[in-house]
Structure 1
Amino acid sequence: MNIIEFIFIRKFILKLGKMLHKYGTPAFRLEAYLTEVASYLGVHSSFISSPTSLTFMIWTDKHEDEYQIAVRLEPGEIDMNCLSLTDELANELLSGKLSLADADKHLDQINSLKSPYSNLLTGMAFGLGTGAFSMLMGASLPEVLWSGVLGLVVFFWTLWSQKSKRVNLMLEPISALFSALLACAISQYFQSSINIPLVVLSSVIFLVPGLSLTMGLAELSSRNLVSGTARVMDALMQFFKLYFGAFLGVAIGFALFGENTYTPAPSLPFWATWLAVFLLSISLVAVFRTRLKHIHWALMSAFIAYGITTWTSSLFDQEIGSFIGAFALGVFANLSSRLMNQPASIALMHGLIVLVPGAKTYIGLNSFISGKDFVNIDHVGQEVMIIFMSLVAGLIFANVVAPTKKAL
């Protein structure tokens, strides 16, 4: 291998790694995937990934040429569209259907793609998803509707944060603060008996880092200690920022509009929870930028995860139900990866978002600080930790029983 060929190969690997990191790929999957590509291209490699950095080490057989670089990156966001397209591109390269030069050009095209869903559709997904989540939490119909309205307010801040670094830095607390203020105003002038903390939690649910915390624990279980620790601590800080914003917003809202008297209203019937799972899954299609041809896989994963967890939780403890649900989800995601020849993450993330106890973590934080529960859940703190461990264990067992052929 001459020096020119080596330079071209390492530039391609560097670009591919930065793109996969940008799309929210966990460290253990990213490192394994890059190693597979590098091996095919005829070089030796080692990679170290963390939420904010990526280190590349690439060398030839006899170390005639070596290359090492550490890149500072922003934490990635889930983008199933670009992740899928990048994986298809890599498949064509590894199968010999595409030259390295052509693959490099196509990477640039993928990297410049915008979301396949317009801002209008994504905003509607925020409203639909936040309302659906409140249904899962046992909210009444007025609380569901107001949660959806406030979800649109959170989307406005999310959209603004993409264009302003200052807003991006304070996205979690400012979104929660405005949602809490508006919830207090709604309670005073429109719907006096709403459960304000529940409505606020529902409105910011897409900012609650339950999925990120689960990914961090999964990285720790795979002995990616640096990345896992960083991701877990980042998720905890996001929880604190969200709670502080909501706490401050409610305090200001009560001072401006007066405290409300929460009167529990009748919850929606049981069948509404299944409707909520469907609506939440549909909203995640736009939020995660899932391709149209993968929507049915995403919906199936959500129903499999929720259905099996609900059924087994009625037979055993909820922690056992979460383990079995995560195991079933992992097996389904890995098998679907073989069938559609796409990353298992496409099906896995949609189902996992239904299972992760991000909301319960927020509720536990509220109970710990204020001493009050706005949702009737006993021993929420212990339950959250056990559920997180059950989810990670279920995914590990699934990867052993039905391993995926793809690293992603």
Structure 2
Amino acid sequence: MDTKEFIQIRRFILKLGKMLHKYGTPAFRLEAYLNEVARYLGVHASFISTPTSLSVVIWSDRHEDEYSHAARLDPGELDLNSLSRTDELANQLLTGQLTLSEADKQLSEIDAMPSPYGKWVTGFSYGISTGAFSLLMGGSWSEMYWSAILGLVVYFWVLWSERSKRVALMMEPVAAYFVAFLACAFSRHFDPGMNIPLTILSSVIIFVPGLALTMGLAELSSRNMVSGTARVMDALMQLFKLYFGAYLGVATGFSVFGENTYNPAASLPYWSTWLAVIVLCFGLVAIFKTRPKHIPWALASALLAYSSTALASDYLPQSIGSFVGAFSLGILANAFTRIANQPATIVAMHGLIVLVPGSKTYIGLNSFISGQDFVNVDHLGQDVFLIFMSLVAGLIFANVVFPTKKAL
């Protein structure tokens, strides 16, 4: 291997690694995938990935050429469209359908690609996702409506954060503050009996880091200690920022509009929960930028995860039900990699959103600080811990029983 070829290979690997990091790939998957690509391209490599950095060392067979690179990166956000296309591109390179220079050029095109759904569809998705989550948490039809309206307010802040770095740094607490303040205003003038804390939680659920906590624990279980610890602590800090913003917004709203008295609405029919799961999944399609051809798989993963958990919880403790749901989801995700030759993450993320107890973590924080519960949940802290552990264990067992053929 001459020096010119080595430079071309290491540039491609570095660009591929930064792009996969940008799309929210967990450390253990990113490192394993890059090692596969490096072996195919005929070089040796070592990678260390954390949520905010990527370190790369690449060397030729006899150490004629060596290269090291360490980059400070922003934490990645889920972009399943770009992740899927990047994986397809890497597959074409590994099967000889593309040259290295062609693959490098197409990587740049993928990186500049906008969302396939546009801002209007994405904004609508924020509204229906937050409304659906309110139903999933046992809210009434009116609380679903207000959660959807406030979900659009959250999307306004998301759009603003894309244009302003200063807004991006404070987006979570400020968005939670305005949502909480508006919820108090709606309660005073339009719906006096609404469940304000539940409406606030549903409105900011996109920011609640239950998924990040689960990914962090999965990284810790795979011995990626630095990345796992950093991801867990970042998720906890995001949770604290959200809660502080909501707490300050409610305090301000109550001082301006007066406190409200929550009047529980009549219980909704059981089918509304299943409707909420379906609508939530469709809303997440645009938020996660899932490709249209993967929508049936995404819907199937959410329904399978929720139904298997609900069925198992009828006969077993809830934490064991979450294990069954995660195990079923893991089997489906690994089957997806074999059938579609695409990353398991594309399917797994939609199902995990239904399963992860991020909302329960927020509820527990509210109970700890205020001493009040806005939903009836017993042994909350124990349940959150057991559900997190059950999710990680379910995914690990699924990989043992039906292993995936792809690192991503």
* Class of the TM-score when normalised by the shorter of the 2 chains: over 0.9
Equivalence for 1:333: 333
Is the Cα–Cα contact under 8 Å of residues 334 and 402 in structure 1 kept in the other structure?
Answer: yes
Equivalence for 1:87: 87
Normalising by structure 1, we get a TM-score of 1.00
- State the alpha-carbon separation in 1 of the partners of residues 249 and 407 from structure 2: 43
- SS of 2:58's partner is strand
Q: Superposed, which structure 2 residues align to 1:107-146 within 5 Å?
A: 107-146=107-146
Shift of 1:267: 2.8
- State the alpha-carbon separation in 2 of the partners of residues 6 and 105 from structure 1: 17
Equivalence for 1:385: 385
Equivalence for 2:268: 268
Shift of 1:163: 1.0
- SS of 1:315's partner is coil
- State the alpha-carbon separation in 2 of the partners of residues 302 and 215 from structure 1: 17
- SS of 1:150's partner is helix
- State the alpha-carbon separation in 1 of the partners of residues 86 and 327 from structure 2: 27
In structure 2, give the amino acid aligned to 1:161.
S
- State the alpha-carbon separation in 2 of the partners of residues 289 and 127 from structure 1: 16
- State the alpha-carbon separation in 1 of the partners of residues 160 and 334 from structure 2: 36
Shift of 1:323: 0.4
- State the alpha-carbon separation in 2 of the partners of residues 96 and 18 from structure 1: 23
Is the Cα–Cα contact under 8 Å of residues 141 and 267 in structure 1 kept in the other structure?
Answer: no
Count of residues paired in the alignment: 408
Equivalence for 2:290: 290
- State the alpha-carbon separation in 2 of the partners of residues 211 and 161 from structure 1: 21
Equivalence for 1:215: 215
- State the alpha-carbon separation in 2 of the partners of residues 406 and 53 from structure 1: 23
- State the alpha-carbon separation in 2 of the partners of residues 200 and 5 from structure 1: 55
Equivalence for 2:253: 253
Shift of 1:322: 0.3
Q: How much identity, in percent, do the aligned residues show?
A: 69
Equivalence for 2:171: 171
- State the alpha-carbon separation in 2 of the partners of residues 268 and 85 from structure 1: 41
Equivalence for 1:102: 102
Runs of 4+ in 1 over 3 A off after TM superposition: none
Equivalence for 2:9: 9
- SS of 1:206's partner is coil
Unaligned runs of 5+ in 2: none
- State the alpha-carbon separation in 1 of the partners of residues 396 and 331 from structure 2: 10
Is the Cα–Cα contact under 8 Å of residues 23 and 78 in structure 1 kept in the other structure?
Answer: yes
- State the alpha-carbon separation in 2 of the partners of residues 403 and 172 from structure 1: 37
Is 1:181 the counterpart of 2:201? The answer is: no
- SS of 2:115's partner is coil
Is the Cα–Cα contact under 8 Å of residues 51 and 231 in structure 1 kept in the other structure?
Answer: yes
- SS of 1:207's partner is coil
- State the alpha-carbon separation in 2 of the partners of residues 162 and 209 from structure 1: 20
Is the Cα–Cα contact under 8 Å of residues 130 and 204 in structure 1 kept in the other structure?
Answer: yes
- State the alpha-carbon separation in 2 of the partners of residues 22 and 259 from structure 1: 43
- State the alpha-carbon separation in 1 of the partners of residues 140 and 92 from structure 2: 50
Equivalence for 1:306: 306
- SS of 1:208's partner is coil
Equivalence for 2:324: 324
- State the alpha-carbon separation in 2 of the partners of residues 384 and 159 from structure 1: 32
In structure 2, give the amino acid aligned to 1:166.
R
- State the alpha-carbon separation in 1 of the partners of residues 79 and 279 from structure 2: 20
Is the Cα–Cα contact under 8 Å of residues 88 and 342 in structure 1 kept in the other structure?
Answer: yes
